[in-house]
Chain A
Amino acid sequence: MAELFGNILNLTWQQVVMILIGGVLIWLAIKKDMEPALLLPIGFGAILCNLPLTGAVTQIIGGTKEIGVVDTLFNAGIVNELFPLLLFIGIGAMIDFGPLLANPKLFLFGAAAQFGIFFTLSLAALLGFDIKDAASIAIIGAADGPTSIFVANFFHSNYIGAIVVAAYSYMALVPIVQPPVIKLITTKKERLIKMPYTQKEISKTTRILFPIIITVVAGLVVPRSVALVGFLMFGNLIRECGVLNSLSESAQKELANIITILLGLTISTKMQASSFLNLSTLLIMGLGLVAFVFDTIGGVMFAKFMNLFTKNKVNPMIGATGISAFPMSARVIHKMGLKEDPQNFLLMHAIGANVSGQIASVIAGGLVITLISR
């Protein structure tokens, strides 16, 4: 009987808390439909990795080191940055850059909405985090899971588990985080600014050359971003070339889905109670929220700044869609615009700015790595 039930006595209260946290993430994924593709595997993985003496994670059992399967996957796909980069191929294949190419000034909102990353970097350093950990925490503001994993892993951050949970949680909470911030820093008159949309066709040649040129430009200026930008743009190129439809579909569906399953489950090895349950995790969750809030503020304030000089005014809410949480942020702002004026259709502008955030966030990730590594 002791062999059957003895392991229950090995369970610590911290592990029980982590198992409950795993349960909460699963509940959020299923009941609230919050980023279920990631939160469910992460939640289940948290349960797997916090059961004592299991084979899921590397442990010393009976004096022998046993390599756990989740750690094996972590070493195979996270330590070498493989999983996030492969996922980026799928993401690139899903993105239509058409609305952005038709109105390239929307790129500027993608740049402005990365402000939260750098603001949070300074705040995290002020609060006592080591500079590399501060950078890893700040990249939550990229609002992009693979970029957050890539940068946090590059800096060998001990907080990668909390960072990933924060990144994906806040991406799912964009409909709750962004609207109050936007309402606080804009006036009703500004939110009512109309932005008429004229569809502009983009040639196939432009669509094909765009990912190649972006890769070369980003690679020459920010070489550390080449892996992220390159894989994203490769995915987009196989979508736009027109001769690889089956590969594009596979990238968008099978590849993205397989990597998503492995990524979520694998990251949970960093959610073991001993490393996750501490004050730093709470601080990181708070800093992640700060990053998202100041991303929103950065984008909106830049739009207001632009309006000082431009004849055709920009609705400042579009600035908030410069974060990389695609397409959630675009949908949120479109709904906010309709709520203010049912005749104000901001969707295409919002989508353009939102996809620019994808590019700007990976460039920001590369810049953070470059500047902190120096």
Chain B
Amino acid sequence: MLNISAFLGTLPVMLYGLLGIFIVIGFIILCVKLLTIAFPVKKGK
């Protein structure tokens, strides 16, 4: 028997989970971009 109510209960988890991953990853991308700007490779090395 399929548990429809349990399935529907997991949909917010799916939404928040994927949103959460993209938010964290988005923040990480921002940090990496700032890092590469703040600490470029020194010329001549």
Contact = CB atoms under 8 A, between A and B. Distances in A.
Interface string B2-45: 11101101110110111011111101110111011001111000
B21 A206 contact: no
A218 B10 contact: no
A244 to B, nearest CB: 20
B24 A363 contact: yes
B7 to A, nearest CB: 4
Contacts of B17: 117-118, 121, 364, 367-368, 371
Nearest to B6: A125
Given A126-B3, A206-B39, A121 B13 contact: yes
B2 A213 contact: no
Interface string A187-203: 00000000000000111
B9 A206 contact: no
Contacts of A360: 21, 25
A125 B1 CA distance: 11
Contact of A128 (B2, B25, B33, B36): B2
Contacts of A213: 28, 31, 35
A360 B31 CA distance: 15
Contacts of A363: 20-21, 24-25
A205 interface: yes
Interface in A201-217: 201-203, 205-206, 209-210, 213-214, 217
Contact of B10 (A125, A364, A367): A125
Contact of B21 (A104, A111, A126): A111
A213 B11 CA distance: 31
Interface in A119-143: 119, 121-123, 125-128, 131, 134
Q: Is the interface of A mostly helix, strand, loop or mixed?
A: helix
A231 interface: no
B18 to A, nearest CB: 6
A206 to B, nearest CB: 5
A221 to B, nearest CB: 5
A107 interface: yes
Interface in A349-369: 356, 359-360, 363-364, 367-368
Contacts of B3: 125-128
A352 to B, nearest CB: 11
B16 A364 contact: no
Contact of A101 (B2, B11, B32, B42): B32
Contacts of B4: 126
Interface size class of A (residues with CB under 8 A): 35 or more
B27 A118 contact: no
A104 B33 contact: yes
A266 interface: no
Contacts of A371: 13, 16-17, 20
B20 A202 contact: no
Contacts of A214: 28, 31
A131 B28 contact: no
A206 B35 contact: yes
Interface string A315-328: 00000000000000
B28 to A, nearest CB: 6
Interface of B: 1-4, 6-7, 9-11, 13-14, 16-18, 20-25, 27-29, 31-33, 35-36, 39-42
13 contacts: A107-B25, A110-B25, A117-B17, A118-B13, A122-B11, A126-B2, A126-B4, A126-B7, A127-B3, A209-B39, A210-B32, A213-B35, A221-B27
Interface of A: 101, 104-105, 107-108, 110-111, 114-115, 117-119, 121-123, 125-128, 131, 134, 201-203, 205-206, 209-210, 213-214, 217-218, 221-222, 356, 359-360, 363-364, 367-368, 371-372
